[in-house]
Chains A and B, each alone.
Chain A
Amino acid sequence: MTVHISTLNDRTTVPENSKSSLNTQEFFINMGPQHPSTHGVLRLVLKMDGETIREVIPVLGYIHRSIEKICEHNTYRQIVHLTDRMDYLSAVMNNWAVSMAVEKAAQIELTDRIEYIRTILAEMQRLQSHQLWWGVTGMDLGAFTPFLYGFRDREMLTDIFEETMGARLTLNYIQPAGLMFDIHPDFVKKTKDYLKYFKPKLEEYEALLSANPIFQQRLRDVGILDREKAVSLGATGPVLRACGIPYDLRRVEPYGVYEKVSFKIAVGSVGDCWDRYSVRMEEMRQSIQIIEQLIDNIPEGKFITKKPAAKITIPEGRYYSQMETARGVLGVLIVSTGKEKPYRFHLRSPNFNNLWTITQMAPGSRLGDLVAMVSTLDLVIPDMDR
């Protein structure tokens, strides 16, 4: 096997006899790292021929905070708070992924109450994440109103979170062996009220943005991702499902109480931006259904099965576990030497793999369409770089 290594300098030097169409010349432009539509500090080096994109080279590292290295110096309980800051839009699911890996490795038993609350909160967070994505996608493509609508509904969900967990964004609620606190007495009632409020709003979302012909034209048949390429690049989550592959860890390898609820997996057919948009809209409906099935049946019991001060040690070995966040599969690999702290802690983030699909779908399309593609991939940059 040979590995070809090329630097960014090599790749951005235009050869003298480069293939260019009539009256144009190939050139490179930088999109980012300070660019409003990349939602953070992503840098894309674009090889352009006029207005047409020939090649996309993602350059990472502008928000690399060495989380994996810090984790090696922390105990398993301390690691959890760093995962909030990776994919901050699905903080609960990140906490859960690490906690689940630790619990499986250390063989900690959980009560039903913990599993129910975790599942409900994860679905609420998925709903919240998609609301934000919906608003921001509208804003990227020139419609400002969805942003205000999305945030109006998101803030209400944030209030419910704040009451139970005491934080608005970096929730830090799930810990190995249970939860930080029990749910607030008003939690069940407020969640039900919210769902009643939000269901008609979702129809409003569809009427406002999905039915807009300009918006549809900007998304339909733009950024088509091939099914085989999506799998070979390791894309997961709504990006993979939009290509027509019904792969969802909640169904394939159920965790939490996903086995007990009935829900559908939203699947696209073409794999273009419009499919990715529709899949996420449908996922919001399914999340509401899952919460509705669970919210009345939260069993009584303990909310933590080990004392918070108790030490957690994992027997020597390598452990991997994964779960479905709002963006795809988040994998956690722990290499333990039998001590309190991990020897190596690795995270497989969904955004990193989803990003590279853009190198397949962007070439041949126009520069303006790249914004739609980046937007519907729903990237969170700190999760890529960690």
Chain B
Amino acid sequence: MGLVAQMDQISGGSFILTRMDEVINWARANSLWPLVFGTSCCAIEMMMATGAARHDLARFGAEVVRPSPRQADLLILAGTIVKRMAPRLRTLYEQMAEPRYVIATGACTISGGPFVYNSYTTIRGADQIIPVDIYVPGCPPRPESLLYGILALQKMIKSGESLREPGIRKKPVVSELPPGVKLEDITLELRQILGDEGITNIPEEIARREWSTGL
């Protein structure tokens, strides 16, 4: 998928027609250059394990990891951000060339993680400092999760900005369900599993709580 699906063939075969937006977004999505920003544990799992041979980030066109923000267009936040580091992070983000994308990996960059209570230094979520496009949860997330996050970002870029309206991004529904599966089915199955294992009294739990997410 990608560019080929967006092409129209003209009879004779010498020309192809496509839109400029599609070409640019296709090129952007497949040549992401990440910036190394590893502050703690997630850096080992995310940057190093994904860069190594087994999980191989290079398959998705994002292996050119750069230490300089001037050469990068994807900021992968890996690790806790504390108050002293926050201005530096903001500077790094502002030094990156547009269009720039941000992936927040791990519980710490999303919400503060294990350091959310009683900590006087931790920033509760990187999105308080810079805009974040994709969140990858985990503590630390498995390398597969980051790969999924990058694929989701590529999807977002491909369907996202247009030349006429730069800066406006359409965020895709990342957790798209496979065909034939409904959210209600998953909910029922989850309740079944929970009920079978006897961890919680399901009817009581349902009566006690309000399920805001539809679960």
Q: Which residues of A contact B (CB under 8 A)?
A: 33-36, 40-41, 61-67, 69-70, 72-73, 81-82, 84-85, 88-89, 132, 136, 147-148, 151-152, 155, 168-170, 381-382
12 contacts between A and B (CB under 8 A): A62-B88, A66-B115, A147-B52, A151-B48, A151-B52, A151-B54, A155-B54, A168-B140, A169-B44, A169-B45, A169-B140, A382-B39
Do A69 and B39 contact each other (CB < 8 Å), given the known contacts A151-B48, A155-B52? no
Do A88 and B88 contact each other (CB < 8 Å), given the known contacts A65-B115, A151-B49, A152-B53? no
CA distance A151 to B54 in the complex (A): 8
Do A168 and B118 contact each other (CB < 8 Å), given the known contacts A33-B88, A34-B88, A88-B40? no
Query: Could you tell me if B84 and A70 are in contact, using CB atoms closer than 8 angstroms?
Result: no
Max chain B Cβ within 10 angstroms of own Cβ: one of A67, A88, A132 = A88
CA distance A25 to B54 in the complex (A): 48
Query: Could you tell me if B115 and A70 are in contact, using CB atoms closer than 8 angstroms?
Result: yes
Do A148 and B40 contact each other (CB < 8 Å), given the known contacts A63-B80, A66-B115? no
Chain B count of residues within 8 A CB distance of the other chain: 34
A-side contacts of B85, CB under 8 Å? 33, 41, 62-63
Query: Could you tell me if B79 and A70 are in contact, using CB atoms closer than 8 angstroms?
Result: no
Chain A interface: which of B19-27, B119-127, B129-137, B174-182? B119-127
A-side contacts of B79, CB under 8 Å? 63, 382
Query: Could you tell me if B121 and A65 are in contact, using CB atoms closer than 8 angstroms?
Result: yes
B203 within 8 A of A: no
**What is the minimal beta-carbon distance from A155 to any residue of chain B, in angstroms?**
5
Do A69 and B119 contact each other (CB < 8 Å), given the known contacts A88-B40, A169-B140? yes
Max chain A Cβ within 10 angstroms of own Cβ: one of B67, B118, B142 = B118
CA distance A84 to B82 in the complex (A): 18
- Report the nearest B residue to A72, measured CB to CB: B118
CA distance A132 to B118 in the complex (A): 33
B117 within 8 A of A: yes
Query: Could you tell me if B114 and A82 are in contact, using CB atoms closer than 8 angstroms?
Result: yes
Query: Could you tell me if B114 and A63 are in contact, using CB atoms closer than 8 angstroms?
Result: no
Query: Could you tell me if A169 and B41 are in contact, using CB atoms closer than 8 angstroms?
Result: yes
**What is the minimal beta-carbon distance from A250 to any residue of chain B, in angstroms?**
25
Query: Could you tell me if B39 and A63 are in contact, using CB atoms closer than 8 angstroms?
Result: yes
Q: Which residues of B contact A (CB under 8 A)?
A: 36-41, 43-45, 48-49, 51-54, 67, 79-80, 82, 84-85, 88, 92, 114-115, 117-122, 139-140, 142
Q: Which of A34, A67, A84, A168 interacts with B142 by CB under 8 Å?
A: A168
B-side contacts of A381, CB under 8 Å? 39-40
CA distance A179 to B48 in the complex (A): 29
Max chain A Cβ within 10 angstroms of own Cβ: one of B36, B37, B67, B114 = B114
**What is the minimal beta-carbon distance from A199 to any residue of chain B, in angstroms?**
21
A-B contact sample (20 more), CB < 8 A, given A69-B120, A170-B139: A33-B85, A34-B37, A40-B38, A63-B85, A64-B121, A65-B119, A66-B115, A70-B119, A73-B117, A88-B40, A89-B44, A132-B48, A147-B52, A151-B48, A155-B49, A155-B54, A168-B45, A168-B140, A169-B41, A382-B39
B-side contacts of A151, CB under 8 Å? 48-49, 52-54
A-side contacts of B54, CB under 8 Å? 151-152, 155
A-side contacts of B51, CB under 8 Å? 147
B-side contacts of A168, CB under 8 Å? 45, 140, 142
**What is the minimal beta-carbon distance from B143 to any residue of chain A, in angstroms?**
9
CA distance A40 to B85 in the complex (A): 12
CA distance A85 to B41 in the complex (A): 6
- Report the nearest B residue to A149, measured CB to CB: B53
CA distance A48 to B116 in the complex (A): 40
CA distance A149 to B186 in the complex (A): 41
Query: Could you tell me if B118 and A69 are in contact, using CB atoms closer than 8 angstroms?
Result: yes
B-side contacts of A34, CB under 8 Å? 37, 67, 88, 92
**What is the minimal beta-carbon distance from B102 to any residue of chain A, in angstroms?**
15
Query: Could you tell me if A63 and B40 are in contact, using CB atoms closer than 8 angstroms?
Result: yes
Query: Could you tell me if A70 and B48 are in contact, using CB atoms closer than 8 angstroms?
Result: no
B-side contacts of A84, CB under 8 Å? 41
B-side contacts of A136, CB under 8 Å? 48
B-side contacts of A33, CB under 8 Å? 85, 88
**What is the minimal beta-carbon distance from B100 to any residue of chain A, in angstroms?**
16
CA distance A62 to B79 in the complex (A): 12
CA distance A33 to B41 in the complex (A): 16
A-side contacts of B36, CB under 8 Å? 36
**What is the minimal beta-carbon distance from B83 to any residue of chain A, in angstroms?**
9
